[in-house]
Amino acid sequence: MSRRGEFDSLLRWYPRAWRERYAQEFVSYLEDTLCGAAPTRRFRASIALAGLRERSHDLGLVGTRRSASDQTRAGSLVVLGSWSLMVVAGSVLVKTAEHFAAAMPPSARSGAQLAYDAIAAAAVIAAAFFVAGALIVVPSFFRFIRSGGWVGVRTNVLRSLFALALTTTGLLALASWAHHLTAHQRNGGDPWYSGIVLTFALIAVATVALWTLSVFDVVRRLELTSRVLRIESTFAQGVAAMVIAISVAAGVWWHQVGEHAPWFLQGSPHGASASPITLPLILVGSAMAVSSLLAMLGVLRIVSAQHRLEAAARAH
């Protein structure tokens, strides 16, 4: 790669508006600092970190450079990201927990069942908040499309639609195939089936990620009134509360099943000695913890923006 190409790759860490304004100064800084030498990994990492920090400021995720409204929007989008991650983690948990009640002693079943029911209830409430939030911005979205905004988001949305079509087709085909297999074959006995299931599971995760990025891209471009932003932020805080509730309930469920039926978590015969710690549950628990952390960070950003608005109102 030419030296100019290396500089351009480092410059891409920064947001577009920053690049358009400071590109020449940035290149001059690199030339003076490196004196013709190739940038080291440590130097690249420092530039990447600075660029990501600048992007965070540009998006309203940190600092007070952007308006309180932009901060509110950014906080709500962070919560949306946390919910997308929770959807993936929760789907794995639901698959793992299939028929857990039958594996547990009747006298010890109530705690795990209550936690599982709490997970389901919190997921339904969060989904309701999400749908309500989407419906509120529909008028703004149509205005955005009519004003020519579709051109800017078309690529991301079409890519997401293609991924959704691929995922849906694959899952329908797998469901049809599964009807012709035994329980043993569906649960690891057929390596071809297991491999294809894993492949489409990864495609499904990618689909969720693509749709999340598409929503981010669209929402950050919409013209939203202060009233709509206030309502959206309320819904976002509701989603965040449910994300945390799901994480707590999942931890309780894991503890209860691990204490009274650890063999179920390992897929071992009933009553066998087994550890309640499994790699899938470790990954699920880690994803839920990250999701909860993101939800809390999003809420903190929303609350911080609200305090700014209240302070500005008192000043006037």
Is the same domain home to 222 and 97?
yes
The domain of 20 spans 3-59
Across the chain, what does the average pLDDT equal? 88
Residue 250 included in any domain:
yes
Is the same domain home to 46 and 183?
no
Is the same domain home to 216 and 251?
yes
Is the same domain home to 194 and 256?
yes
Is the same domain home to 123 and 35?
no
Buried b (16+ CB within 10 A) or exposed e, 126-162: beebbeebeebbeebeeebeeeebeeebeebbeebee
Residue 185 included in any domain:
yes
Is the same domain home to 50 and 178?
no
Highest mean pLDDT (candidates 7-16, 180-189, 216-225)? 216-225
Convert the pLDDT of each residue in 63-116 to its tens digit. Answer: 778 888 889 999 999 999 999 999 999 999 998 888 888 888 888 889 999 999
Instruction: With a cut of 70, say whether residue 188 has pLDDT above it.
Output: no
Is the same domain home to 128 and 171?
yes
Total count of domains within the chain = 2
Residue 42 included in any domain:
yes
Q: Is the pTM of this model over 0.85?
A: no
Sign of CA dihedral 69, 71, 73, 76: negative
Residue 285 included in any domain:
yes
Residue 61 near residue 26, CB atoms below 8 Å: no
Kindly state the tokens that stand for 23.
């590109």
Residue 236: the pLDDT is 96
Is the same domain home to 173 and 218?
yes
Is the same domain home to 27 and 117?
no
Residue 26 included in any domain:
yes
Convert the pLDDT of each residue in 224-256 to its tens digit. Answer: 998 999 999 999 999 999 999 999 999 999 999
Is the same domain home to 96 and 203?
yes
Last residue within a domain, chosen from 21, 41, 59:
59
Is the same domain home to 41 and 178?
no
Last residue within a domain, chosen from 36, 59, 82:
59
Within 8 A by CB and 6+ apart from 137, the residues are 219, 222, 224, 228, 232
Percent of the chain with pLDDT over 70: 96
Residue 64 included in any domain:
no
Is the same domain home to 273 and 203?
yes
Tokens 């600075």 locate to: 50
User: Residue 6 class from Cβ within 10 Å (0-12 exposed, 13-18 middle, 19+ buried)?
Assistant: middle
Residue 303 included in any domain:
yes
